[in-house]
Amino acid sequence: MDYIHIDSAAVFQAEVLSATIHSASFAARRRPRHDFGFTLPLPPLTIGPRMKSYASPKIRSIGSLAAVEVSQWNACANPGGSDSGGERFNPFITHEFLRALEQSGSVGGRTGWTPAHVLVEDDEGRLLAAAPAYRKSHSQGEYVFDHGWADAYARAGGRYYPKLQVAVPFTPVTGRRLLVARDAPLGTREALIAGLRALRGALGASSIHVTFPDAGDVAALESAGFFVRAGEQFHFLDNGYGDFEGFLAALSSRKRKNIRRERKEALANDVSIEWVTGAALEKQHWDAFFAFYMDTGSRKWGSPYLTREFFAEIGATMADRVLLVMAKREGRYIAGAINFIGDDALYGRNWGAIEEHPFLHFEVCYYQAIEFALAHGLKRVEAGAQGEHKLARGYRPTATWSMHEFADPGLGAAVREYLQRERAAVQETIAFYDGHAPFKKG
């Protein structure tokens, strides 16, 4: 099957930036660097009437989640009753996950991901809202590629870095990014957006980038003037299949036979599969999986992002939200994938192997994830970024989003023009993929 591939950076650079940015006038001013952990100077806020019960919201930036009480952060991250896509619990925006990144050295230090989280608090210091934010000195680990923007801006005489990134590092999973407590007064989200803008100015950053926000945050940020960027991933969606055989029954005959063949070949040579989660997770599992992760990372991009300490930390603090799918042969683990368990979805993140077996990647990462999700009442499997090969394995094209705002109006105008074209191309690509889904017609 021929697939459409959009090289975003090349299209941007060739069709838009060269024509627009070089003809714009930029004021690339260098500002002094600020330390983190300060109260942000804010412009006057236009806020809702319920906010008037507070003298004024306190908005500040912190350099570590250690400064926030776990329960207060989590009450904002997963407040329950979400009306944005129906997601009840997302493990990646919890205090435990984000703090593990900091404690393990996966972010901070010389990683280029410097924590600068923004908080909105009431008069009594209760957390009303927060945004996981980072001062970035590069564009790695984001899965929304703006290297072409940075290069063109530099060639035009501007300074793209630092930039302010609102994201879960190294995690291309859609979820809330403007974390607002369920009982927060009207205007809290707007105050949080104002805080992000104030922080951008205080850092002398070129821009704000909010990657993989949910639908509610996309709408709020677009209303506030941010630009919308579209992307696509491949997700498995349960259509009432019941179990894996029910899923196979919904596929065309040829695709069903292909999947059966791949699964059989993957488990040849006495390969067996284990699901390991919760209290069953032990040091031996983490040691084996980290070896797989390092091998894959070193071969693919040269410097894996996550440290061994990160996996130890999440194993200690959120084991019930972790699933390791481990492949074993002749008494030793030879491959594995780490997944995180939400209330509505299973999120596949990293994989690795120390032995090569045909189709083992598909079995460990895709088919086992579908089986686990169906067995545990999870309606969706998100298997990470990119990967057109997932289409033939029953994963459907799904739109993703990011939001962007720029201090320089010339750069902003160029990006806005490009994004209009890119969104149309992404919509066409999703429609194309949907037309080639492996399911029975009608």
65 lies in the same domain as 34: yes
252 lies in the same domain as 226: no
φ/ψ of 113, rounded to 5, equals -115, 95
85 lies in the same domain as 119: yes
Q: What does the DSSP assignment read for 283-322?
A: HHHHHHHHHHHHHHHHHHTSS-S--HHHHHHHHHH-GGGE
User: Is residue 83 assigned to a domain?
Assistant: yes
pLDDT for res 11? 31
| 205 vs 56, residue with greater confidence | 205
User: Is residue 209 assigned to a domain?
Assistant: yes
What digits encode the pLDDT tens for the residues 34-52? 334 445 554 444 444 444 4
Band of pLDDT at residue 421, cut at 50, 70 and 90: very high
| Residues 131/198, Cβ–Cβ less than 8 Å | no
* CB-CB neighbours of 201 under 10 Å: 16
If you average pLDDT over residues 159-175, what whole number do you get? Answer: 98
| Residues 78/94, Cβ–Cβ less than 8 Å | yes
pLDDT for res 34? 35
| Residues 150/209, Cβ–Cβ less than 8 Å | no
pLDDT for res 302? 58
| Residues 28, 287: Cα–Cα separation, whole Å | 47
User: Is residue 2 assigned to a domain?
Assistant: no
Could you give the percent of the chain with pLDDT greater than 90? 81
143 lies in the same domain as 290: no
User: Is residue 67 assigned to a domain?
Assistant: yes
User: Which residue reads 């299209």 in tokens?
Assistant: 11
pLDDT for res 427? 96
What digits encode the pLDDT tens for the residues 312-333? 999 999 999 999 999 999 999 9
pLDDT for res 304? 85
pLDDT for res 267? 97
pLDDT for res 33? 33
Number of domains present in the structure of the chain? 2
In degrees, to the nearest 5, what angle opens at C-alpha 67 toward C-alphas 62 and 68? 100
| Residues 178/220, Cβ–Cβ less than 8 Å | yes
Residues in CB range of 413: below 8 A, 6 or more apart: 20, 24
| Residues 401, 290: Cα–Cα separation, whole Å | 30
pLDDT for res 441? 82
Nearest to 403 by CA among 215, 264, 273, 261: 215
Stated pTM of the model:
0.88
Average pLDDT of the chain to the nearest whole number: 88
Tokens encoding 17: 């930036």
* CB-CB neighbours of 132 under 10 Å: 25
| Residues 162/209, Cβ–Cβ less than 8 Å | no
| Residues 149/13, Cβ–Cβ less than 8 Å | no
User: Is residue 393 assigned to a domain?
Assistant: no
| Residues 16/173, Cβ–Cβ less than 8 Å | no
- CATH code of the domain covering residue 288: 3.40.630.30
If you average pLDDT over residues 181-193, what whole number do you get? Answer: 95
Band of pLDDT at residue 296, cut at 50, 70 and 90: confident
pLDDT for res 25? 30
47 lies in the same domain as 15: yes
215 lies in the same domain as 304: no
| 55 vs 311, residue with greater confidence | 311
What digits encode the pLDDT tens for the residues 240-258? 999 999 999 999 999 999 9
Nearest to 64 by CA among 98, 32, 94, 91: 98
Helices (H), ranges, 35-159? 70-77, 95-103, 147-155
295 lies in the same domain as 178: no
pLDDT for res 300? 58
User: Is residue 384 assigned to a domain?
Assistant: no
174 lies in the same domain as 217: yes
224 lies in the same domain as 84: yes
Residues in CB range of 153: below 8 A, 6 or more apart: 21, 26, 159, 160, 206, 408, 411
User: Is residue 60 assigned to a domain?
Assistant: yes
Distance from CA of residue 189 to its chain's centroid? Answer: 20
Structural domain that includes position 117: 8-231+400-435
If you average pLDDT over residues 122-149, what whole number do you get? Answer: 96
pLDDT for res 442? 64
User: Which residue reads 């870095």 in tokens?
Assistant: 161
User: Which residue reads 């639908």 in tokens?
Assistant: 215
- Looking at the predicted structure, is the pLDDT value of residue 7 above 80? no
> Largest Cα–Cα distance of the chain, in whole Å?
69
Nearest to 243 by CA among 438, 439, 362, 376: 376
Tokens encoding 42: 């804010």
- Looking at the predicted structure, is the pLDDT value of residue 22 above 60? no
Band of pLDDT at residue 56, cut at 50, 70 and 90: confident
What digits encode the pLDDT tens for the residues 212-231? 999 999 999 999 999 999 99
Band of pLDDT at residue 295, cut at 50, 70 and 90: confident
- Looking at the predicted structure, is the pLDDT value of residue 28 above 80? no
- Looking at the predicted structure, is the pLDDT value of residue 83 above 80? no
221 lies in the same domain as 317: no
169 lies in the same domain as 256: no
171 lies in the same domain as 273: no
* CB-CB neighbours of 219 under 10 Å: 13
What digits encode the pLDDT tens for the residues 374-420? 999 999 999 998 789 999 999 999 999 999 999 999 999 999 999 99
- Looking at the predicted structure, is the pLDDT value of residue 299 above 70? no
User: Is residue 80 assigned to a domain?
Assistant: yes
